[in-house]
Structure 1
Amino acid sequence: MTTAIGIQWPEFNDGLTYNDVISPSSSGLTLINFYSSNYSSSAPLQGWLQRIHNGQITIDGDIVTDPDTVLRVGSKLVYHRLPWSEPETPFLLEVLYEDDDMIAINKPSGLQVLPGGLFQQRTVLTQLKWHANKNGNSSPGQLHPVPVHRLGRGTSGVLLCAKTKSAKARLAAYFADGTSLSLHPGQNALFGIAYGFTAFNNSVVVDKVLINKPIGIIRYPGVAKGLYVALPSGKPALSKVRVLERDLEKDQSLVQVEIQSGRPHQIRIHLSLIGYPLLDDPLYVAGGQPECFDSELVEEDFAEDG
């Protein structure tokens, strides 16, 4: 009988702080010029002005609300991002195995593994820390709950996590040399259910497919650092797909995918590239490209935090 761990998310997270030390090249810039030029992906000019006027930025510990304040070498800047309500996210984690060194969980779709973007608190890492603190079965110096590998936020599946620093080092070494999966160094094998593969390659059913297509980044609405897609100018990516089982009635197949390059979202991108995306993938469609949508940015419309 499996068990589940997880604590309901609070309405708001704790916010964030971002630290900078003024270098000689930035000396003489005004406060607004520094932030609007160095962190334009976080907010445009008007957004940074709003944050400064809100009193969210300190210089050497003092709140500064004048955007034209001139910066000096060595000054310590801190931007305080206000707490916000993160998007709705699952919080329960099904425990498949647990001992003193590691825990294997069934990560639900919609839950991010590590902090990033809008999701700073609502992550697997946060739930692992809360679970460890609640149990208190290790001394603070030994406690180090952390995922050993990653699964995309929209991907569900088995996630192996270490509970101590020593366990993390050993498990990471296993993944690096392929010991845990009897693979060659640098390879990883993952399993998923994909649409199709019941008739492929001119209606001839095949069991193995080799996908060797580069993956790169494009600008995409709502993703500050860009989105990974199949892109000729991207970095090399190789995936070996093997069909394990087929469900002809549902036109779905259980596949094993070995990846050597490990690009972000590689399996999702490569399977969708050849026309067989993962089941219920909310983003990637045939061709290895994202599902496009119209997005307009209204410059004058900013949240409370700019």
Structure 2
Amino acid sequence: MGDPDSEDIDRLEDLDRLEDPDLPEEMGATKELTVAADGQGTRLDLWLSEQLGEAVSRSRVQALIRAGAVTTGDTAVTEPKQRVTAGERYALIVPEAQPAEPLPEDLPLDILYEDAALVVVNKPAGLVVHPAPGNWSGTLVNALLYHCGETLAGIGGVRRPGIVHRLDRDTSGVMVVAKTDLAHRALSDAFADHGRSGDLERAYVALVWDAPDRWAGTIDAPLGRDPRSRTLRAVVPEGRADARHAVTHYQVRKRYGSDGKGGALAALVECRLETGRTHQIRVHMAHIGHPLIGDLDYGRAFRTKVNRLPETVRPTVAAFGRQALHARLLAFRHPVSDELMRFEAPPPADMTALTEALDIL
């Protein structure tokens, strides 16, 4: 068995492919360090390892660097081989200690389908998928461990048993979870491939501010870590070290109201993913000027737009406390039977109420 810290690097790359921002959710206290004269020209990973001593291994430091946990000024440094210069100041966000493994909890689950290999659930908004700092309990994983018993424990890893893809805490909708190692490998491969060579299909509905000029389009823009926030993503230059290929196809289903300039006040948009990056739909829609209603991370500049809405609509929109995003469709090949499985879930009550309010415009 290899060095556990070496496995962290591979696991981080896997999680980035599978929509799972591993390290940002694990981050703890920030440690600030200044390069002394005798550190001049040393590799960043080696210098940080020397500063931290035995507390964090060098391979773990490399994983943290690649994850964007090391910054100088307001810029994330993502290349472990970068040489440091005397007088430079670096900030390292050190991961918090974590429980060895999640515990089963008797929590309600909306199960759409289940067999010996997998379970498909309709995840409600507000439910975290797996334990992380600040949410060590009350997650989907805790609920599934109770529901599935020992059959799920350790499948695909101790910390995230069965998880092959992820939805944000405040995104609702269809998710599949593996119950065997065979199913976990097959589904993980399908999500990593994004359906290019198979039958994986994912469709989301979103309510956005204004409306795209075209009824359909494709957003092809690489995503990386937002240099201003360790937990957010941003469209970044293609050549940047942490840039990841990201493509979203969208189709406007309905436009609401008029801004008096030939445009709409809001729109219902369906998004289909060609890739599966963290916060992809939220970042991409904001990138083209149409952030999701309720998204305070990527649509903060649009908060005042609610004041322009009619009084009959304004309270409902203002009270909507999450990003208006729902994973309505998930289709995939069953890892055992090879049958094409297709699952849909209607938007939850809060998003339906928001849509009905916008219909008044």
2:203 corresponds to 1:195: no
RMSD: 4.3
Question: What are the Cα deviations for residues 177-214 of structure 1, in whole angstroms up to 9, with x where unaligned?
Answer: 556xxx5569863312131464x33xxxx222221222
Which of structures 1 and 2 has the bigger CA Rg?
1
Structure with a larger share of its residues in helix: 2
| Mapping 1:261-280, distance limit 5 Å | 262-280=276-294
Aligned to 1:243: 251
Gaps of at least 5 residues in structure 1 are 1-24, 43-78, 84-90, 289-306
Q: Does the CA contact (< 8 Å) of 1:208 and 1:243 recur in 2? A: yes
Aligned to 2:112: 96
* Alpha-carbon distance, 1:241 to partner: 2.3
Aligned to 1:214: 222
Amino acid at match of 1:264: T
Q: Does the CA contact (< 8 Å) of 2:117 and 2:179 recur in 1? A: yes
Gaps of at least 5 residues in structure 2 are 1-45, 70-94, 100-106, 258-264, 303-361
- In 2, the alpha carbon distance for the partners of 1:169 and 1:82 equals 25
* Alpha-carbon distance, 1:117 to partner: 3.5
Counterparts in 2 of 1:140 and 1:230: CA distance versus 1, 3 Å: closer
Relative to the length of structure 2, the TM-score reads: 0.45
2:164 corresponds to 1:151: no
2:178 corresponds to 1:162: yes
Aligned to 2:136: 120
Aligned to 1:256: 271
Counterparts in 2 of 1:95 and 1:186: CA distance versus 1, 3 Å: closer
* 3-state SS, counterpart of residue 292 of structure 2: coil
Q: Does the CA contact (< 8 Å) of 2:252 and 2:267 recur in 1? A: no
- In 2, the alpha carbon distance for the partners of 1:33 and 1:105 equals 44
Counterparts in 2 of 1:94 and 1:118: CA distance versus 1, 3 Å: same
- In 1, the alpha carbon distance for the partners of 2:154 and 2:135 equals 27
Aligned to 1:109: 125
Counterparts in 2 of 1:101 and 1:118: CA distance versus 1, 3 Å: same
* Alpha-carbon distance, 1:259 to partner: 2.6
Q: Does the CA contact (< 8 Å) of 1:237 and 1:266 recur in 2? A: no
* 3-state SS, counterpart of residue 129 of structure 1: helix
What is the total number of aligned residue pairs between the two structures? 203
* 3-state SS, counterpart of residue 264 of structure 1: coil
| Mapping 1:76-95, distance limit 5 Å | 81=97, 92-95=108-111
Q: Does the CA contact (< 8 Å) of 2:209 and 2:293 recur in 1? A: no
- In 2, the alpha carbon distance for the partners of 1:130 and 1:188 equals 29
Counterparts in 2 of 1:193 and 1:132: CA distance versus 1, 3 Å: same
Counterparts in 2 of 1:139 and 1:254: CA distance versus 1, 3 Å: closer
* Alpha-carbon distance, 1:99 to partner: 2.2
Aligned with residue 283 of structure 1, among 292, 297, 303: 297
Question: What are the Cα deviations for residues 105-128 of structure 1, in whole angstroms up to 9, with x where unaligned?
Answer: 122223222333333334322221
Counterparts in 2 of 1:110 and 1:139: CA distance versus 1, 3 Å: closer
- In 1, the alpha carbon distance for the partners of 2:293 and 2:186 equals 33
Aligned to 1:227: 232
* Alpha-carbon distance, 1:129 to partner: 0.9
* Alpha-carbon distance, 1:236 to partner: 4.5
* Alpha-carbon distance, 1:176 to partner: 4.4
2:180 corresponds to 1:172: no
Counterparts in 2 of 1:192 and 1:36: CA distance versus 1, 3 Å: same
Q: Does the CA contact (< 8 Å) of 2:190 and 2:200 recur in 1? A: no
Relative to the length of structure 1, the TM-score reads: 0.52
